[in-house]
Amino acid sequence: MMQMLDQVHRRKREGKDTIMFCAGQPTTGAPEAVINEAEIALRSSTLGYTEVVGDREFRERVADWHSATYGVETSADNVIVTTGSSGGFVAAFLATLDHGDYVAMSTPGYPAYRNILESLGAKILNLRCTAETRFQPTAQMLEELPHKPKAVIVTSPGNPTGTIIDPAELEKIAAWCDDNDAVLISDEDYHGMSFGRPLATAHQFSKNAIVVGTLSKYFSMTGWRVGWIIVPDELITPIENLQASLALCAPAIGQAAGRAAFTLEAAAELDEHVEAYREAREVFVEKLPEIGLGTFADPDGGLYLWVDVSEYTEDSEVWAQQLIEEAGVAVAPGVDFDPELGHKWIRLSLCASKEDTLEGVRRIGEFLKK
């Protein structure tokens, strides 16, 4: 996927028209309220290191937002601010896993989990997710694993599928983790981006879970590199110690400005973005079958669509390369998300405008006719 992004940037430098369906990055900027807060912070603060666990006021905003959104009591003491959610995953994995521990995760799934875990010596237990379970894991899958995992990762809305796990199933998974002394790590980076299906946090079902969040996706602040993890009491000190060595603190400007991301003013602007993603989704769902791509995970939220291209290729990397060269459309090959079956799938992003989405689908259709 990163190679595809590099090609997109190179093509843009060369002046070549390219429609980008490959990146999970909002094309919108930070909310106006955040920009205003950043200007104030730049002129009124030295923006030195914050506390290792993060700026107290920002942590309080996260805790209040989490409590109000999901109806769960959340203390700022349990919120640790990280360098994007990526920093949160690294800290959570280091604090809870030892070399050789088993970790269960969905396949298809976000490749960074696998890459980080394998670099730490963890062993991956793949939870094969299909259309039958709407590309989300189930508690029954955990029961059938050959080894007991030390941790279970759940992502909802999913990457690359965009599907949302049913709250009742998330409750069962949380209960299974509690009963089997497994740490539930809930990736909630795409929360706020639902097209109607209910979203639940793992904390509604277990206070032992680690919840991961970010300003990058719904809040449209990818480059600010601010995320957070909400952790049980016993993990606060271990993760604080890790954070002190890994990053010292998350970017101060992102935390100072990010306080405004949780205001009603920002929410009104951000919800308009979600409507734009919904429009892109509707274009894909309507138009893809018309061009011969009728098998895909119907996205409930998030930024992605997981599409079966097996009728046209057995190698999605080669196919994607041909598509960008011949049609000027960049997509993410599925092998990044599913090493076993991803050569027959691609991931599309909902971040392009409606006009670009329509044009991109048209170009893919013309490409498929050749």
pLDDT digits (tens, 9 = 90+) for 131-178: 999 999 999 999 999 999 999 999 999 999 999 999 999 999 999 999
pLDDT tens profile 259-281: 999 999 999 999 999 999 999 99
3-class SS of residue 137: coil
The per-residue pLDDT for 9 is 76
Do residues 157 and 193 lie in contact, with contact meaning Cβ atoms separated by under 8 Å?
yes
Do residues 221 and 254 lie in contact, with contact meaning Cβ atoms separated by under 8 Å?
yes
Q: DSSP of 273-313, one letter per residue?
A: HHHHHHHHHHHHHHHTGGGT---EE---BTTEEEEE-TTT-
The per-residue pLDDT for 11 is 81
User: Which phi and psi angles does 288 have, rounded to 5°?
Assistant: -60, -45
Tokens 């209910």 belong to which residue? 198
Q: pLDDT category, 7, cuts 50, 70, 90?
A: confident
The per-residue pLDDT for 28 is 92
Q: Per-residue pLDDT averaged across 307-318, rounded?
A: 97
Pick the range with the lowest mean pLDDT from 4-13, 44-53, 201-210. 4-13
pLDDT of 5 strictly over 90: no
Kindly give the interhelix angle for 111-119 and 84-96, rounded to the nearest 10 degrees: 40
Token pair in block for residue 194 = 């639902």
pLDDT of 1 strictly over 70: no
Angle 289-293-298 from CA coordinates, rounded to 5°? 75
The per-residue pLDDT for 46 is 84
pLDDT tens profile 316-328: 999 999 999 999 9
Q: pLDDT category, 251, cuts 50, 70, 90?
A: very high
Of the chain, the end-to-end C-alpha distance in Å amounts to 25
| Single-letter residue type at 100 | G
Is the domain spanning 2-24+266-364 CATH 3.40.50.300? The answer is no
Average pLDDT score, the chain? 96
Beta-bridged to residue 348, according to DSSP, are 305
Q: pLDDT category, 111, cuts 50, 70, 90?
A: very high
pLDDT tens profile 172-197: 999 999 999 999 999 999 999 999 99
pLDDT tens profile 209-233: 999 999 999 999 999 999 999 999 9
Q: Per-residue pLDDT averaged across 9-35, rounded?
A: 90
Token pair in block for residue 285 = 């769902």
**Distance (Å) of CA 9 to CA 15, 16, 19, 359, 360:** 10, 10, 11, 19, 17
Tokens 């940037």 belong to which residue? 9
Percent of the chain at pLDDT above 90?
Answer: 94
Percent of the chain at pLDDT above 70?
Answer: 100
pLDDT tens profile 332-356: 999 999 999 999 999 999 999 999 9
The per-residue pLDDT for 6 is 77
Q: Per-residue pLDDT averaged across 63-91, rounded?
A: 98
Q: pLDDT category, 92, cuts 50, 70, 90?
A: very high
What lies within 8 Å, CB to CB, of 135 at 6+ separation is 106, 108, 129, 158, 161, 163, 297, 306
| Single-letter residue type at 361 | V
pTM over 0.75? The answer is yes
Length reported for the chain = 370
Which one of 1.20.20.10, 3.30.450.40, 3.40.50.300, 3.40.640.10 gives the CATH number of domain 47-262? Answer: 3.40.640.10
| Single-letter residue type at 146 | P
CA neighbor of 83 nearest in space, from 255, 252, 254, 250: 250
Query: For the chain, what are the domain ranges?
Result: 2-24+266-364, 47-262
d(CA 289, CA 266): 36
The per-residue pLDDT for 16 is 84
